[in-house]
Structure 1
Amino acid sequence: MEDSRIIELYESRDQQAISQSDIKYGGYCYSVGYNILGVREDTEECVNETWLRAWNSIPPQKPKMLSAFFGRITRNIAFDRYRASKTAKRGKGEIAAVLEELDECIPDKDTTESLCDGIHLEGLINEFLGELQERDRNIF
């Protein structure tokens, strides 16, 4: 089908526009997206989103070259996904949650032995203070 006919289908809101676009330019858009992303599933989603964006933008716009129009949309979507995936790999703001989870893995600085030593020391100090007169105990 010719580009002018596909554009007419978009303008008349005929859903055949999407299927005809996919038949004629699906492979081209797929290759554009795949060259950026390198992941089949993400590329397929980019191509599907390309048809949605074309559906939403063609009535006000009338592209002169449909292949360039679809290629630009696919490229922009793929670059947005690429940036988002790189941001996700850097933590995406989840660093605090990750560190909180690691907190459970790091042993507590107070071991059972140190807690027992502290209790024993407290008992010795109380015993010592119990032997002192009230005035000396208050000074201590």
Structure 2
Amino acid sequence: MEEQEIIDLLWQRKEEGLTALQENFKAYCGKIASQVLSQREDVEECLNDTWLKAWQAIPPERPQFLRAYLGKIVKNTSINKLKMLKAKKRFSEGFTESVEELGEDLHFSSDNVEEHVNQQALVDALNQFLEKQKKETRVFFVRRYFYHDEIQEIAKAFQVTESKVKVSLHRTRQALAKYLKDEGIA
């Protein structure tokens, strides 16, 4: 079923829309949630929360790109769940590692990176910076720091060495830090 058909069903408050939403986007949203959370039960809980939030938000919202809309919901839901679990010391090492890695070069502590990311000026500057990068550089960066993919996964997906991915990410972080400093943001 196409995205617009699902949105129309949700807009009409038909439960078939919710079923179609789960069938079409479970794998995609599950991948995002599992990159942040390590326990299968926590991922399932985030997926259920994502479907509920989408059901509650449509209407009045009518997203243009349902996949991206759901990606944002599941990512935020997973991060909130991680914050709760972190207090219990049950968190995914891969997610924490990528946040700390990004925070080191940008001189943010791992505890406040998420606060900085929520600031509109930083988000705008990050988008402008990424638009100026080569496609491969952008994709590596987004896969590592938005989806929290492991370096090995990125290298395998693009058939390059792990070293190439690491070097690219390192250079991109350094260039981003300089860009943000020049923009007066960091």
Separation of aligned partners in 2, 1:35 and 1:86? 15
* SS of 1:61 mapped into structure 2: coil
Residue 109 of structure 1: aligned partner? none
Offset of 1:83 from its aligned partner?
0.5
Offset of 1:58 from its aligned partner?
1.1
Residue 66 of structure 1: aligned partner? 66
Offset of 1:88 from its aligned partner?
2.9
Offset of 1:39 from its aligned partner?
1.2
The normalised TM-score by structure 2 is 0.47
Write out aligned runs for 1:77-96 (5 A): 77-89=77-89
Write out aligned runs for 1:106-125 (5 A): none
Separation of aligned partners in 2, 1:18 and 1:45? 16
Higher-Rg member (1/2): 1
Write out aligned runs for 1:1-140 (5 A): 1-89=1-89
Separation of aligned partners in 2, 1:71 and 1:86? 22
Q: Where does structure 1 lack aligned partners over 5 or more consecutive residues?
A: 91-140
Offset of 1:89 from its aligned partner?
3.5
Separation of aligned partners in 2, 1:21 and 1:39? 23
Separation of aligned partners in 2, 1:20 and 1:3? 9
Q: Where does structure 2 lack aligned partners over 5 or more consecutive residues?
A: 91-186
Tell me the number of residue pairs that the alignment of Structure 1 and Structure 2 aligns.
Answer: 90
User: After the TM superposition, which segments of 4 or more aligned residues of structure 1 sit over 6 Å from their partners?
Assistant: none
The normalised TM-score by structure 1 is 0.62
User: Percent of aligned positions with the same letter in both sequences?
Assistant: 37
* SS of 1:16 mapped into structure 2: helix
Offset of 1:25 from its aligned partner?
0.6
* SS of 2:62 mapped into structure 1: coil
Separation of aligned partners in 2, 1:62 and 1:2? 15
Offset of 1:38 from its aligned partner?
1.5
